[in-house]
Amino acid sequence: MSVLCYNVFRRPLQYCLAMRTLDGLFDNSQLATASRSKQLHVCIKRSHSSFGSYKLKLDSTTITSRTSPRKRDFDLSVCGDAEAHGSRNGAVCKASSVDIKTDGQAVSEEAVLGRIERLQNGSDIRGIAMEGEGREVNLTPSVAFFLGEAFGIWLADYLGVSSSLLRVSLGRDPRLTGPALLAATAAGLRSIGCAVFDMSLATTPACFMSTVLSGFSYDASIMLTASHLPATRNGFKFFTKDGGLKVEDIESICNIAAMRYIKRPDRGAAAAAIASSFSPSPATPVSFMPVYAAHLREIIKKGINHPTNFDQPLSGFKVVVNAGNGSGGFFAWDVLEKLGADVNGSVNLGADGAFPNHTPNPEDKEAMSVTSRAVREAKADLGVVFDTDVDRSGVVDSSGQRINGDRFIALLASIVLSDHPGSTIVTDARTSNGLTTFIENRGGKHCLFRVGYRNVIDRGVQLNQLGMETHLMIETTGHGAMKENYFLDDGAYLAVKVIIQMALMRLHGSFHGIGGLIQDLVAPKENTEIRIKILSRLENVKHRGGQVVEAFRRFLVDGSIPRWDLAKCGDCWVSDGCLADFGDGLGPEWSRSPEYRPPSKIDAHMYRAQVLDDSENVLGWVHLRQSIHNPELVVNIQSNKTGGCHTIVNILLNRFFLHNGHADELDLSNIQKFLGSHG
Ligand SMILES: O=P(O)(O)OC[C@H]1O[C@H](O)[C@H](O)[C@@H](O)[C@@H]1O
């Protein structure tokens, strides 16, 4: 469709909107009325926008000059200040598309929206913030300005107060792009009247705690981080006093940001340029991290309750911290050392946004082996590994044993189940059958849920609401939350729990170290993950991937392969994150309760199948889902039999992917490689 632009107000052309109406929705009499009243209200309905619909005020001169009342299908053009808001009043037509023209270059609204929407990663925002990957930088200070502004607008609506009354704190990890993005985000928030506070280098859990701890109690907080992703990336994690935002909240914020961007694409760039010159600073500096560290020290002191040394309960302990040059160094010198621990063997404490040593990530083999070595060299009692922004952790015991993934979950489960017998533990559905046995042997219940830490945490919140005591929600990635800690995804808090346990064990005369708590955890014999690229345009990836995963569900439900069934955990199906309701009464009772929220579009699609061998014994399981970060499907497989993963992958390839004709839309080479190398 051609975009018709007129500068009818004789002002510099900022943008033009042109829309094509849908047949039959705009009739002649309505147009005539609109022309006579010199104002026409057009309602544009966008099915995927949680912003609902919005209204444009079009100058009647422009409309009458560009349209013919006799045509049912026509173009409208407007230049100047179109108002966009959420009302449907006066709507007389629906537009099928809106095109934006900026500085002579046509950019469709869908493209702007798509670009901003693609920054969404589940319940976070992630993007490329600097050159270096050979890919377009898409998280610029200008975009950060609109995201900051959009968050302020969303927050004012969420809390039902004027944005001028809102106080928002901002923190960042050490990434080089952090200061400029933080300044631009602050400028966005300030542009709608919010008071903004700069905590500078901070952690994700600290950002949330700044909404809670007295003396600060901000209405909300934003952490700028891309977690363990490369130094070129950055991102946003948003918090209110109610906790981290949900996937659908992030969708709303992206939509609002896109709408604001469409309206004034130049504004963000200008504001971000001023903001990043730091003159005047858009945010008031605050020193929050020392207060947060003192808060963690209090928790440890009270948890250990040392009979003779309450204030220095870690005296005599050696603890190694590996912060991976992220934000977690403070935990060594401002938490543990002040409690008496010797932290001299610690590594990579200095914040360095280039992450020169290894990826700050407890899932990372190098991060764990570096820590294990440091623990052995220092003859330490414990090693603690954080990811960049400290919402994830893992530990190493005094023997150098790496405790991450399933082992970390088991360790926390054993601590939680001794404090809260019978508690449910929620994890993602990539954990081993051995972990389920471990939890059940301690009297706990294991709920397997969807991948994505927000999903796991939200499920725990939901179970508690429904009266099922659930004290721990934790992912294999090291993301974990506890009921007693605001259901906050908090790597520092999990480390605190392990440290308290270590000290209590010694106080009670045990010198085994924390590794002794998970001795009976049985690891699967084989465990593999295969990533399958989706061969589709970026904007279609989610849809295509979703179709394949849905086909997998149908395939299982139809019984297409004997002895491959949707897995069950307890009373629930481990399919669609235990939310499978086949519409025939098979779904669990709560899925019909008022609290039930259907899975969000982004991460709904994942299924785990239990696989039996010819003798009806468990061979293992296979879990298929869409990646949250990348345009790919992810297959996880575990087996307790040698060659079990090969058997399962072989069947998956031939009986599902190839048989169902998915070879054209998926790059199956990693599957072939796996079969080749394990054949
Ligand atoms: O989907 P993937 O690319 O495997 O990533 C999955 C992971 O994404 C993010 O890092 C989330 O924080 C994790 O909760 C999730 O497990």
DSSP labels for 250-318?
A: HHHHHHHHHHHHHH-HHHHHHHHHHHHTTSS-SSEE---HHHHHHHHHHHHHHHH--SS-TT-TTTT-B
Who has greater pLDDT, 638 or 550? Answer: 638
DSSP letter (8 states) at residue 413: H
CA distance 633 to 467: 35
Who has greater pLDDT, 93 or 594? Answer: 594
Strands 480-482 and 393-397: unpaired
Range among 121-135, 523-537, 619-633 with highest mean pLDDT value: 523-537
Residue of the CA atom closest to atom 16 of ligand 1? 452
The pLDDT assigned to 571 comes to 56
Residue of the CA atom closest to atom 7 of ligand 1? 452
**Ligand 1 atom nearest to 454, measured from its CA:** 14
Tell whether the model's pLDDT for residue 582 goes beyond 50: no
The fraction of the chain above a pLDDT of 90, given in percent, is 61
Ligand 1 centroid, distance to 364 Cα (angstroms)? 14
* Strand partners for 240: 220, 243
From 227, 391, 629, mutation site for ligand 1 pocket: most ligand atoms within 8 A of C-beta: 629
Ligand 1 centroid, distance to 619 Cα (angstroms)? 26
- The answer to whether the CB of 453 falls within 8 A of the CB of 475 is yes
Among the ranges given (87-91, 475-479, 557-561), the one the predictor scored with the smallest mean pLDDT: 87-91
Q: What is the mean pLDDT of residues 25-48?
A: 29
Tell whether the model's pLDDT for residue 25 goes beyond 60: no
Residue of the CA atom closest to atom 6 of ligand 1? 628
**Ligand 1 atom nearest to 451, measured from its CA:** 16
Tell whether the model's pLDDT for residue 362 goes beyond 50: yes
Cα dihedral 290/294/295/297 (nearest 10): 140
ipTM, 2 dp: 0.97
Ligand 1 centroid, distance to 241 Cα (angstroms)? 24
| DSSP of 497-529 | HHHHHHHHHHHTT--S-GGGGGTTPPPPSEEEE
Residue of the CA atom closest to atom 5 of ligand 1? 628
* Strand partners for 76: 19
Residue of the CA atom closest to atom 11 of ligand 1? 452
Tokens for 623, please give them: 């879990």
The pLDDT assigned to 648 comes to 97
Burial string for 31-68 (b: 16+ CB within 10 Å, else e) reads: beebbeeeebbbbbbbeebebebbbbbbbeebbeebbe
- The answer to whether the CB of 206 falls within 8 A of the CB of 165 is no
Among the ranges given (374-383, 461-470, 644-653), the one the predictor scored with the smallest mean pLDDT: 461-470
Ligand 1 centroid, distance to 119 Cα (angstroms)? 14
Among the ranges given (285-294, 531-540, 618-627), the one the predictor scored with the smallest mean pLDDT: 531-540
Tell whether the model's pLDDT for residue 127 goes beyond 70: yes
CA distance 369 to 449: 29
The pLDDT assigned to 109 comes to 63
Pocket of ligand 1 (CB under 6 A): 122, 451-453, 475, 477, 479, 627-630, 634
**Ligand 1 atom nearest to 476, measured from its CA:** 16
| pLDDT tens-place string over residues 443-452 | 999 988 888 8
**Ligand 1 atom nearest to 628, measured from its CA:** 1
| pLDDT tens-place string over residues 394-430 | 999 999 999 999 999 999 999 999 999 999 999 998 9
């809260």: which residue's tokens? 420
Ligand 1 centroid, distance to 452 Cα (angstroms)? 5
The pLDDT assigned to 278 comes to 58
**Ligand 1 atom nearest to 477, measured from its CA:** 16
3-class secondary-structure state, position 625: strand
CA distance 263 to 267: 9
**Ligand 1 atom nearest to 452, measured from its CA:** 14
Domains and CATH numbers, the chain: 16-103 (no CATH), 117-285 (3.40.120.10), 290-518 (3.40.120.10), 526-678 (3.30.310.50)
Residue 535: half-sphere exposure toward Cβ, Cα within 13 Å: 8
Alpha carbon separation from 191 to 146, 148, 162, 184, 231 (Å, rounded): 10, 9, 13, 10, 29
| DSSP of 392-434 | BEEEEETT--EE-HHHHHHHHHHHHHHHSTT-EEEEETTS-HH
Ligand 1 centroid, distance to 15 Cα (angstroms)? 38
Which pLDDT band, with edges at 50, 70 and 90, does 465 fall under? confident
Ligand 1 centroid, distance to 412 Cα (angstroms)? 20
- The answer to whether the CB of 463 falls within 8 A of the CB of 424 is yes
Tell whether the model's pLDDT for residue 256 goes beyond 90: yes
Who has greater pLDDT, 554 or 226? Answer: 226
From 451, 529, 534, mutation site for ligand 1 pocket: most ligand atoms within 8 A of C-beta: 451
The number of angstroms, rounded, from the C-alpha of 318 to the middle of its chain's C-alpha atoms is 34
Ligand 1 centroid, distance to 105 Cα (angstroms)? 36
Ligand 1 centroid, distance to 629 Cα (angstroms)? 7
The pLDDT assigned to 284 comes to 95
Ligand 1 centroid, distance to 290 Cα (angstroms)? 30
The pLDDT assigned to 88 comes to 28
Task: Tell me the average pLDDT of the chain.
Answer: 81
Ligand 1 centroid, distance to 140 Cα (angstroms)? 23
Who has greater pLDDT, 235 or 258? Answer: 235
**Nearest Cα residue to 117 out of 256, 9, 271, 6:** 256
Among the ranges given (24-38, 303-317, 402-416, 635-649), the one the predictor scored with the smallest mean pLDDT: 24-38
The pLDDT assigned to 264 comes to 79
From 390, 476, 628, 670, mutation site for ligand 1 pocket: most ligand atoms within 8 A of C-beta: 628
From 448, 477, 490, 529, mutation site for ligand 1 pocket: most ligand atoms within 8 A of C-beta: 477
Which pLDDT band, with edges at 50, 70 and 90, does 273 fall under? confident
Among the ranges given (14-23, 162-171, 362-371, 593-602), the one the predictor scored with the smallest mean pLDDT: 14-23
The pLDDT assigned to 270 comes to 78
Tell whether the model's pLDDT for residue 22 goes beyond 80: no
Element (H, E) at 43: strand 39-45
**Ligand 1 atom nearest to 456, measured from its CA:** 14
